[in-house]
């Protein structure tokens, strides 16, 4: 295969080798997303093994996410410098080696160092897939199929994470949580090297990079994630959190004042991309939030372990797999904005259906809300990707993909912080309310606790009241989680407002002329 420069290369023919190369990209993205959920289910095991304090364990995840968020918007530049082929080879090699390093860690510091490397490489692997969809495949069925594969794996990974992590934790050592990345990492590295198009690198572009802008962006994004992590516990109006948010704003302003900021915010002048990023942000809140909220309910209300939780939420993944082929066909023939509206509407309904759980809610009651969410999430992903990135000139797709994916990840971080805030603040209030009902309205308290009135202790029976405090805590947590489901549903439904404000999808004149010429 001859080597071309980035400006010379045209959309390559969709050969078997190209599909294998794209498959390698998708597996790399899947590994990067899966790694977050696999590890989070087993943090307590790692904590005991490495003798890490409980107050430090959250940084195992936070540092990964910070590094990931910093690298995502840099992907466009890195594609231009190294090309898709060499960038993927470098990122998957780094991710694989960092996974080995995590498995060999002997203390907190060594684990954090390798998690940062993992996160940075993982942040490149995610938007690389969405850029490749439009750079490697021409418009039509092949591009739709590529979008479906990438989008499906992006939402399937968080769903399968708890099941995978739970199974590994119960049957193997914690080291396997990281070592499972090694075989697919080596295979995809070879496939990417041999199957992705060969294009000349342009290392000289680094000379024009605004390194000061890169520093500002990195500090701003890292500080934002730290603020979102600390806000639920410390309070959103605490001096520490307010100081962090002020720092975020200051460094963001300094970034925008740079003559050539490293993130191409000017691309948001394209209305299709701007509205697509809004939808990606909203989906990030609801998707990451729902994947976080259901295991929270199962773990703290039903006292389930990681493997049991994974089995329950596997329903969502199966629904996604079953409906994906149908989504591909529909996406080819219907208006992308209308499909997006259907996706956000029914995903919001699926979230709303989970907002009325009790401490007695079991698998059967959680089945249909998961089916609804899993069946329609593809329509929240495929059409917005198509109109956000599909009409851009090829040289802008990589940077736009970074913005699109950054929007989703920031939405996810905000969604989890929002849920923690609701749960931390509202659960104690609900506990006080139930305690009052035990005295003023025992029948209402009994309904919330899932018991008969006759089973409640008398208000003067202090020992009896102490005996049901666990049930009171479970019921209060359930009520707070229900409020979180309803908030996520309302936020998801706001996607309909965004789509209404967007109006009909406008094809840029240059793109329209190109398509007319092609026909």
One pLDDT digit (tens) per residue for the chain, 519 residues: 334 444 444 566 768 899 999 999 999 999 998 888 788 777 778 888 888 876 677 788 888 989 999 999 889 889 989 999 999 999 999 999 999 999 999 888 999 999 999 999 999 999 999 899 988 988 777 888 888 888 888 888 887 887 888 888 888 888 998 999 999 999 999 999 999 998 888 888 877 778 888 899 899 999 999 999 899 888 899 999 999 999 999 998 988 888 777 777 888 889 999 999 999 999 999 998 998 899 889 988 888 887 888 889 889 989 988 888 887 778 777 888 999 999 999 999 999 999 999 988 989 999 999 999 999 998 998 899 889 998 888 889 989 999 999 999 999 999 999 999 999 899 999 988 988 888 888 888 888 887 777 667 766 665 666 667 778 889 999 999 999 999 999 999 999 999 999 988 876 654 444 433 332
440: burial class by Cβ within 10 Å (0-12, 13-18, 19+)?
exposed
Question: Is 256 part of any domain?
Answer: yes
What phi and psi values does residue 82 have, to the nearest 5 degrees?
-105, -15
157 and 200 housed in the same domain: yes
Task: Print the domain residue range for 217.
Answer: 210-261
Contacts of 172 (CB under 8 A, 6+ apart): none
CATH code where residue 186 lies: 1.20.1250.20
pLDDT at 273: 93
Question: Is 252 part of any domain?
Answer: yes
501 and 398 housed in the same domain: yes
Rounded Cα distance, 333 and 330, in Å: 6
pLDDT at 55: 67
185 and 256 housed in the same domain: no
- Tokens 């809300």, residue located: 369
Question: Is 97 part of any domain?
Answer: yes
227 and 322 housed in the same domain: no
130 and 163 housed in the same domain: yes
Token readout for 242 is 């307010």
490 and 432 housed in the same domain: yes
53: burial class by Cβ within 10 Å (0-12, 13-18, 19+)?
exposed
Question: Is 267 part of any domain?
Answer: no
404 and 373 housed in the same domain: yes
Rounded Cα distance, 60 and 180, in Å: 18
pLDDT at 472: 86
Given 3-state DSSP classes, what are the helix, strand and coil percentages for the chain, each rounded to the nearest 5?
80, 0, 20
462 and 395 housed in the same domain: yes
Determine the distance from the C-alpha atom of residue 262 to the mean position of all C-alpha atoms in its chain, rounded to a whole number. Answer: 23
Sign of the alpha-carbon dihedral angle for 396, 402, 408, 410: negative
45 and 145 housed in the same domain: yes
180 and 287 housed in the same domain: no
Question: Is 81 part of any domain?
Answer: yes
pLDDT at 206: 79
Contacts of 243 (CB under 8 A, 6+ apart): none
Question: Is 104 part of any domain?
Answer: yes
Give the count of alpha carbons within 13 A of 165, CB side only. Answer: 26
- Tokens 């529909």, residue located: 330
Count of domains for the chain: 3
pLDDT at 382: 86
Question: Is 465 part of any domain?
Answer: yes
Question: Is 441 part of any domain?
Answer: yes
């Amino acid at each position: 295969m001859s080597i071309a420069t980035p400006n010379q290369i045209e959309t390559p023919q969709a050969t078997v080798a190209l599909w294998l190369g794209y498959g390698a990209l998708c597996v790399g993205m899947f590994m990067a997303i899966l790694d977050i959920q696999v590890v989070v289910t087993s943090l307590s095991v790692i904590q005991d093994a490495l003798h890490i304090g409980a107050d430090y364990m959250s940084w195992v995840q936070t540092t990964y996410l910070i590094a990931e968020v910093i690298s995502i918007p840099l992907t466009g530049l890195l594609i231009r410098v190294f090309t898709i082929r060499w960038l993927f080879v470098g990122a998957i090699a780094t991710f694989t080696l960092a996974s080995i390093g995590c498995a060999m860690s002997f203390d907190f510091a060594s684990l954090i160092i390798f998690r940062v490397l993992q996160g940075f490489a993982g942040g490149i692997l995610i938007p690389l897939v969405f850029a490749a969809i439009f750079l490697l495949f021409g418009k039509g069925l092949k591009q739709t199929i590529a979008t479906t594969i990438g989008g499906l794996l992006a939402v399937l990974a968080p769903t399968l994470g708890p099941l995978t992590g739970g199974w590994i934790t119960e049957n193997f050592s914690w080291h396997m949580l990281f070592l499972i990345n090694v075989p697919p990492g080596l295979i995809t590295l070879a496939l990417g090297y041999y199957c992705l198009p060969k294009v000349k690198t342009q290392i000289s572009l680094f000379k024009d990079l605004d390194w000061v802008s890169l520093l500002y962006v990195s500090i701003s994004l890292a500080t934002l994630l730290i603020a979102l992590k600390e806000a639920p516990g410390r309070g959103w109006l605490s001096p520490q959190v307010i100081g962090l948010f002020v720092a975020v704003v200051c460094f963001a302003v300094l970034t925008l004042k740079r003559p050539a900021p490293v993130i191409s915010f000017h691309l948001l002048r394209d209305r299709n991309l701007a509205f697509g990023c809004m939808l990606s942000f909203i989906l990030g809140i609801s998707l990451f939030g729902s994947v976080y909220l259901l295991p929270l309910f199962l773990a703290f209300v039903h006292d389930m372990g990681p493997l049991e939780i994974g089995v329950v939420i596997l329903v969502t993944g199966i629904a996604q797999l079953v409906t994906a082929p149908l989504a591909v066909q529909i996406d080819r023939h219907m208006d992308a904005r209308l499909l997006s509206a259907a996706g956000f509407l029914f995903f919001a309904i699926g979230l709303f259906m989970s907002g009325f759980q009790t401490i007695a809610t079991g698998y059967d009651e959680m089945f249909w809300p998961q089916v609804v969410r899993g069946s329609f999430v593809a329509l929240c992903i495929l059409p917005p990707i198509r109109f956000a990135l599909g009409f851009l000139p090829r040289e802008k797709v990589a940077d736009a993909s970074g913005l699109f994916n950054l929007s989703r990840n920031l939405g996810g971080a905000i969604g989890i912080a929002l849920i923690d805030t609701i749960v931390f603040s509202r659960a104690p209030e609900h506990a006080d309310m139930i305690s009052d009902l035990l005295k003023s309205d025992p029948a209402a308290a009994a309904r919330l606790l899932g018991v008969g009135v006759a089973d409640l202790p008398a208000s003067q029976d202090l020992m009896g009241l102490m005996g049901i405090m666990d049930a009171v805590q479970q019921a209060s947590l359930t009520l707070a989680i229900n409020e979180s489901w309803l908030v996520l549903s309302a936020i998801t439904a706001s996607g309909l407002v965004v789509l209404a404000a967007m109006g009909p999808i406008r094809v840029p004149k240059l793109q329209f002329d190109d398509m007319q010429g092609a026909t």
